[in-house]
Amino acid sequence: MQKSLHLDPAKCTGCLQCEMACSYEKLGEFNPSRSLIKVFSFHFEGRFAPYTCTQCDEAWCQRACPVDAITLDMSTGAKIVIEDKCVGCKVCTISCPFGTVNYVQQTGKVAKCDLCGGDPQCAKACPTDAITFIDANATGYDRMKAYAEKSLPSAEASA
Binding residues (CB under 8 A) for other proteins: these are 4, 8-11, 38, 40-42, 44-45, 47, 49, 51, 54, 56-58, 63-64, 66-68, 85, 87-105, 108, 136, 139-141, 143-145, 147-149, 151-155, 158-159
Give CA–CA dist 70/22, Å, rounded.
Answer: 20
Q: Which is nearer to other proteins, 24 or 103 (CB)?
A: 103
Give CA–CA dist 109/103, Å, rounded.
Answer: 6
Count helices and strands in the chain by DSSP H and E runs: 6, 8
Torsion of CA 44, 99, 114, 128, to 10 degrees: 10
Q: Which is nearer to other proteins, 30 or 40 (CB)?
A: 40
Shortest separation between residue 7's beta carbon and other proteins, angstroms: 8
Q: Which is nearer to other proteins, 110 or 116 (CB)?
A: 110
Shortest separation between residue 39's beta carbon and other proteins, angstroms: 11
Handedness of CA 58, 64, 66, 70 (dihedral sign): negative
Q: Which is nearer to other proteins, 30 or 141 (CB)?
A: 141
